Amino acid sequence: MYIYLVSVQLDIPGSATTVVMVETLLMIGVKPGPLLFTEHLNEKTFLTGVIVTRVTGVELFTSLFGSVPGGMQEMIILSESYDVNHPAVVVIQTVRRILIVIMYPLLVNIILKYVKG
């Protein structure tokens, strides 16, 4: 599975399924390559922070510190320099990591099933 994701990121078709996946991404306007998962990261982080704020009622800066991808420890230490809810930052960062670990493989499996048939 890891080799498949690397080949999609680097636009290196490794099998018929990968070729179909790359062509599908190109048809919908997504350029596969090394920056596939990092393009527009700031906008995605801000949007996630705003959504967390609206859903949970946590202040915006707290949800932004919780939504920033990066080292969890670094975000918690950085948030101590500002007047934010530190336990909320820890909880949001933890939930973010758990969702990534659970949702990313599920999404890849769904995409693979869709591409296969």
In this structure, are residues 65 and 42 in contact, taking their beta carbons and an 8 Å threshold?
A: no
In this structure, are residues 16 and 117 in contact, taking their beta carbons and an 8 Å threshold?
A: no
Clarify whether residues 62 and 111 are in a common domain.
yes
d(CA 11, CA 2): 14
Domain count along the chain: 2
Give the pTM: 0.58
pLDDT 10s digits, 3-45: 555 555 565 556 667 677 777 777 877 776 666 666 667 778 8
Clarify whether residues 63 and 31 are in a common domain.
no
Clarify whether residues 77 and 103 are in a common domain.
yes
In this structure, are residues 3 and 14 in contact, taking their beta carbons and an 8 Å threshold?
A: yes
pLDDT 10s digits, 58-98: 999 888 888 888 777 888 788 888 888 888 888 888 888 88
pLDDT 10s digits, 96-110: 888 888 888 888 888
Q: Which domain holds residue 76?
A: 40-117
Q: Provide the 8-state DSSP code for 69.
A: -
Clarify whether residues 14 and 56 are in a common domain.
no
Clarify whether residues 113 and 96 are in a common domain.
yes
Of 111, 83, 80, 94, nearest to 17 by C-alpha is: 111
